[in-house]
Amino acid sequence: MSRNADAAPGRTEGLVSLARKTFASDIDIYVDANGSYDATAGIEVGKMLESYNISFFEEPCPFDDFEQTKCVADALSIPIATGE
């Protein structure tokens, strides 16, 4: 992924959807964005992830951008992981 966009549009949702369909609720799914988003895009992706019952969303924003990461965390019901 590049900043605020999938390398191929819809790729993230396609992969998460496939994993959830394949494994149903038998596994926890964790998604790592590797700091690919700003707060606005991170929230948008996070809302989509919530619909697939994701266990946590790792590093939606760059690891050193605490303010944007907090914005994402405050807007979502799923846990956010950050840092290494």
Q: What is the pLDDT of residue 4?
A: 74
What confidence category does residue 1 fall into, taking pLDDT thresholds of 50, 70 and 90?
very low
Q: What is the pLDDT of residue 3?
A: 74
Find residue 56's DSSP bridge partners: 30
Question: Angle 28-29-35 (CA atoms, 0-180°, nearest 5)?
Answer: 140
What confidence category does residue 5 fall into, taking pLDDT thresholds of 50, 70 and 90?
confident
**Measured torsion, CA atoms of residues 37, 21, 10, 70, in degrees rounded to the nearest 10:** -10
Q: What is the pLDDT of residue 83?
A: 75
Q: For 6-61, write each residue's pLDDT tens digit.
A: 777 889 999 999 999 999 988 999 999 999 999 999 999 999 999 999 999 999 99
